[in-house]
Structures are given as C-alpha cells and as structure tokens.
Amino acid sequence: MVHQTMNTSTASASMASRSNRSMGRRVGQWAAGAILGLLAGCASVVLPPEGAPGPASPPPAAAPAPVPPDAVLPPALTTAKSRWVPVDWQELPGFGEDSLHEAWNAWLKSCERPPVPLAALCPQVRQLSIASPQDQRAWLVSALQPYRVETLEGASEGLLTAYYEPVLEGRRQPSASHAVPLYGVPAGLGQRKPWFSRQEIDTLPEARAQLRGRELAWISDPVDALMLQIQGSGRIRITEPDGSQTLVRLAYAATNDHPYRSVGGWLLQQGAVRDASWPGIKAWVRANPQRVQEMLWSNPRTVFFRVEPLAPLDAALGPRGAQGVPLTPGRSIAVDKASIPYGTPVWLATPGPQARLARLVLAQDTGSAIVGAVRADWFVGWGDEAGELAGRLKQPLRLWVLWPRASLPQAAAR
C-alpha cells in the first residue's frame, strides 16, 4: 500500500496517500552490505485523553539488565539515507512497560514475507507468541541489537504523523445522493505518462471515456473521495438494492503519475486557513462550498483502486502494506525504505502532544511523503476516531531499529 501522509499542519508536512557512508570500519562492511542489499530489493485505535488514567493492568515487567558498561558494541552502520548508531538497551524509553503481545501480532504478519536478514528469527518469534512479556523481553535483548536511527548529519529527532482507513457509505450505482465515483484502473493508463490530471478527469471527454465502466462504487462527498485517495485504502459499506449491506475494501491499485500536492498546503498559500489539519480543512469546506472544486483540483494526483472482499477475519486487520502483509492498528508504521527495511522491528518513542508513545512497532509500509531517516507514519486503524487522531497527529519522533545480532560480524573494540 502506498500512501501520502495525512497531517497538513504545514505545507511541508503534506498529506501522505498510500497511492499514494560509509561503514566507518571494515569490520562493519558485511552487515552494511546485508542492509543495503535488502534496501535495494526491497479497529480503530482509541487513546485516552492526555493525563487520563488508563485501564487497570498488571504492574509492568522490570526492564532486562542493561548491557554491561564494558561490553563491546558493534560498529555503526549506514544506509542510503540514515546512520544506525549502536546503543545499550537502557536507552530505549519505556522498554520495560510496553504490551509486547500487541506488537507480536504484527511481527507474526511480517514473518509471512520476511526479509532475508530477519527471516531466521521467525521460528523463535512464532514460538514466543504465547510467552510471557518477561520472556519476550529477555529474548529481544539476547537476539537483537538496538541502533538509534539518525540522519547522515547526526540528527536523531524526526517527525511522526498517522494514517488510517476511512469508512464510507456507498452504492453500486449512481443516485441523486451518491454521485461521486471511485474508479478502478482506467483502460488507457499506460498509454500516456502522466495520465490525465484530476481536473482533466473531471472535464475532458477523452478521460471520462477511458474511465467509463471502471466505477467500483459511488459515494456522496468528493472531499471524502479525496481523503480515500490520500490514505490509499478504505472501507466502503455498500447498500445493496434489497437493503442489505456489503463491506468491501478499496485498496490502492495505481495512480495517474502526477505529483501529489497537499490541499492543506494550497489553503495555507491562499491564506484561507491557519489550521491546515484535516479537521481544519473540513471546517473550511463547510464554510466555502463554492470553492471546493478549486481546492480539489489543486492536487493533480488521482489514485485508482481495486476491490477486496472483507471476510470477518480480514475486517480485524488493516490493508496490506508495501511489505505485502496486513497492517496491525497501532503496531505498523510506514517508513522510508531507503532508511529502514520493510519487516524491521523498530522501537518508536514520541512525547506527544496528541499521543505519548514508547512501543515496539514493525516497518511494514511506505508512502510518497514518508521521506527521510527519522520519519514514520503510524497506522492507527479505521473509522472516525482513528481519522480524528490521524488528522491532528504531527509530533517529534525518535526511532531505534532492532537488528539481529547473528547477522553482524564479531565486533571489534571501539
């Protein structure tokens, strides 16, 4: 799944649709080669209000013993866009407090299509899926080495945003109330690059002709259609002619190859809003219905979908990410694959203000606006509550990749 990040608080933090170094020391070159080779190949979450007490839970397990001060850490590693700096486990905020079993579910999904350096861990990951948190933490410490992710210039703080799956009401045929089409891949998509822009699709007979018969569903609001394209996937509750309802997923299939432009950024440039979060954009839309089409056309990129039926078990998981496995709400992130390989377990920490987090997540997706070393888009689920969180979340971020010790050469003294 390829998406663009949703938060639009500034023009530089554009919405992201699912559409939509050296190693330093020769002893580290083998590990670097493994990482760079991999890179080349490569529910709704409800958070309590800030300061509110959480649900009762057992006392958190104590953090495992830190690596002794005289222990030798492996050398730093470098990818195309980031530097990985080895650290002791005690540097990871909240490591003794996370509910690891939630992350284990996401890790089991990654083990369906594991990258080569991480595949050897999967038998143990499966065995530990029913282990105690203490045993899971002890295994993490013994099997993995944490690396703080930094830019090539040495900065360790980046940006966290969030994305979700919209849930919309739809019809199979157009009506007075549902007249906005969501399209599958057009017949002539590969015949010109870029294909027709969003404005051209709405205005040119040639573009409309190539889309005729490709309508997958009809919804009521063109702004919701834009949001679905920005997120790259969504759930449509289709009301059938007999009154029954069918839940389907529209998953990312292709784009028209135009660049993504943030409508929030466009509104900021127009001086139309000061709050370019998604709730702020919706407020502007309600107040300025006569300018909605102009706003939509400011983003020339269009996403085309494919239909995926949603069985009951499928409905409990998110769409498939770029790794090719279903996303787990709260435990899957989109990353820049030139910084962190798909399938990598990552420790994520952010101080807020929308969400204070310190947890194990899995790098399972990417997005056209998810670019840079310390950059992540957090998948928060589906529905209105997830959308409200995703629309506002934009806050500082630190990341640590957890890389297999067995894939590293014997470390030399630093």
Listed as ranges, residues in the chain with pLDDT below 50 are 6-70, 409-414
The Cα 397–Cα 399 span in angstroms is: 7
User: What pLDDT does residue 57 have?
Assistant: 36
Output the CATH code of domain 163-314: 2.40.240.50
| Helix, strand or coil, per DSSP, at residue 159 | strand
Asked if residue 136 lies in contact with residue 100, where contact means CB atoms within 8 angstroms, the answer is: yes
Buried b (16+ CB within 10 A) or exposed e, 156-175: bebbbbbbbbbbbbbbeeee
The Cα 300–Cα 200 span in angstroms is: 9
User: What pLDDT does residue 1 have?
Assistant: 66
Asked if residue 135 lies in contact with residue 352, where contact means CB atoms within 8 angstroms, the answer is: no
Q: Report the DSSP pairing between strands 77-78 and 345-350.
A: unpaired
What is the 8-class DSSP label of residue 326?
Answer: B
Nearest to 306 by CA among 257, 233, 256, 253: 253
The Cα 228–Cα 225 span in angstroms is: 5
The Cα 114–Cα 275 span in angstroms is: 40
What is the 8-class DSSP label of residue 99?
Answer: -
Asked if residue 219 lies in contact with residue 170, where contact means CB atoms within 8 angstroms, the answer is: yes
Asked if residue 305 lies in contact with residue 368, where contact means CB atoms within 8 angstroms, the answer is: no
Give the pTM: 0.78
Could you tell me the CA-to-CA distances from 364 to 55, 336, 348, 372, 389 in Å, in that order? Answer: 29, 10, 14, 16, 20
User: What pLDDT does residue 45 have?
Assistant: 37
The Cα 246–Cα 281 span in angstroms is: 30
Nearest to 331 by CA among 36, 99, 75, 67: 99
User: What pLDDT does residue 188 have?
Assistant: 84
Could you tell me the CA-to-CA distances from 105 to 109, 291, 326 in Å, in that order? Answer: 7, 45, 11
| Helix, strand or coil, per DSSP, at residue 381 | strand
Residue with tokens 């002539």: 188
Nearest to 278 by CA among 197, 380, 153, 175: 380
Strand partners, 350: 357
